[in-house]
Amino acid sequence: MKQVKILGTGCAKCNQLADAVKAVIAREGIEASVEKVEDIQRIMAYNVLATPALVVDEEVRCKGRVPERDELKEMLTR
């Protein structure tokens, strides 16, 4: 099962990414746990300044933007 984390302090874009990730996971039947990380210290453990960021299995796959559905699917299934 993939461990997915959405890093962001709770702005609209962070919520957009979380919703988009959950939608792709549901549509594609990906086995994954999704956690939103809003604590700044925990976010900065990944050394990410530009949020929202997507972390899959502890690897930062995207930061500072909300990718399109197909790109997200690729990031979540890689």
Q: Which residues bind another protein (CB under 8 A)?
A: 8-14, 16, 40-41, 43-45, 47, 49-52, 64-66
Inter-CA distances, 7 with 29, 63, Å: 22, 9
Tokens 């990414």 locate to: 17
Contacts of 29 (CB under 8 A, 6+ apart): none
Quote the least distance from Cβ 58 to another protein, whole Å: 14
62 is annotated as an active-site residue: no
User: Catalytic residue among 6, 7, 14, 24, which?
Assistant: 14
Quote the least distance from Cβ 54 to another protein, whole Å: 14
On whether the CB atoms of residues 54 and 8 are closer than 8 A, the answer is: no
Of 13 and 69, nearer to another protein (C-beta) is: 13
Catalytic residues, by residue number, are 11, 14
